[in-house]
Amino acid sequence: MAKVVPLASAKAFLDALEKSGLLSAIDVASLRTARGDDSDPKLVARDLVKENKLTRWQAGQLLHGFHQLMVGKYKLMDQLGTGEMGRVYLGEHAQLARKVSLKILSRKYTANPDILKKVLEDGRKASALDHRNLSHVFDVNSEDDRYYLVTEFVEGKDLRQLVEASGATSPAQAMDIVRQAAEGLEHAHGQGVIHGDLKPSNLIIDASGVVKILDLGLARLTETAPTVGEGESTEVATLAAQSFHAPEQVSQHQVSPLVDIFSLGGILFYSLSGKLPLGNVKQAQDVKNACPAASDELAELCARMLSGDPAIRPQSARGVIEGLDAASRAKP
């Protein structure tokens, strides 16, 4: 890969800035007059960051000549992560100044017309959902050959980050997280929307403890291959697929509400134990061994959710909620 060389002049930097559309032509013209052609481009960029006219990430991109920092109506403010499905950015609506999460889908998926059609259909279905435990889908669109999904931006930590930083949660917190996720799934399933790729990195918890499910509307992409989460390696993605994807999904690419129930069981086990189940949970005692603090009722529910036989799992998200409520009433 050719080495990317930083821009050598203020003129080249301002040319890139003008092409980006981040500032108006009038603002760029004023900068040309004030800074001249021979200024150090890094100093110009630094001052624009200080004045809150550019983010540090935008300035860094422009200093290296990357100017495609607008997607549709949205300014790209920062890169939040990258994964198998594509790149995720912090975006901002150019007129409304509303922060969003903007996922540009990988061309390896969008190049397939059949998959692309289904993804766009699912994304539009997801945009009709409105629930406090679902990250709202604002837009599914394309620009040139780039297809993107615009969703609510939620500030907080995802469950993977939480467990990696602090270890396994308490049984009470695990039940609360999974219950909220099940409530969101109940609403989505009721409208015919299946997630298909639930895992700890897709559950984000905000400062007030509200859980939101991310990446709704992308289930069709999971029919082709296990997906790498933001910041995950391919090895970790393979483990995640084994742990959080139901057997029928992995072997037959079947996506149904029951695969989400299985995934939620894996998330419950992960939250309780801090470990990936890796197909090792066959009975309630396996859950108890990994998390002795879990009640017998909670361990039994978790094992049922992780059953390789879909008929043994709770048959709906409501069934998971009822099971969690029963477990919360049981004595430890």
Instruction: List, by residue number, the catalytic residues.
Output: 197
313: left (phi over 0), alpha (psi -120 to 50) or beta: beta
For the purposes of burial, counting CB atoms within 10 Å of the CB of 201, is it exposed (0-12), middle (13-18) or buried (19 or more)?
buried
For the chain, percent helix, then strand, then coil, each to nearest 5?
50, 15, 35
| Closest by CA position to 90, among listed 73, 70, 72, 75 | 75
How far, in Å, CA of 23 to CA of 12, rounded? Answer: 15
What is the crossing angle of helices 234-244 and 257-273, to 10°? 110
Q: CA of 187: how far to CAs of 119, 132, 190, 194, 216, in Å?
A: 20, 10, 5, 10, 12
How far, in Å, CA of 170 to CA of 183, rounded? Answer: 20
Max Cα distance, the chain (Å): 74
Q: CA of 130: how far to CAs of 66, 171, 203, 299, in Å?
A: 36, 28, 17, 32
Q: Please name the amino acid found at residue 307.
A: S
- Look up residue 200 and give its two tokens: 């700890």
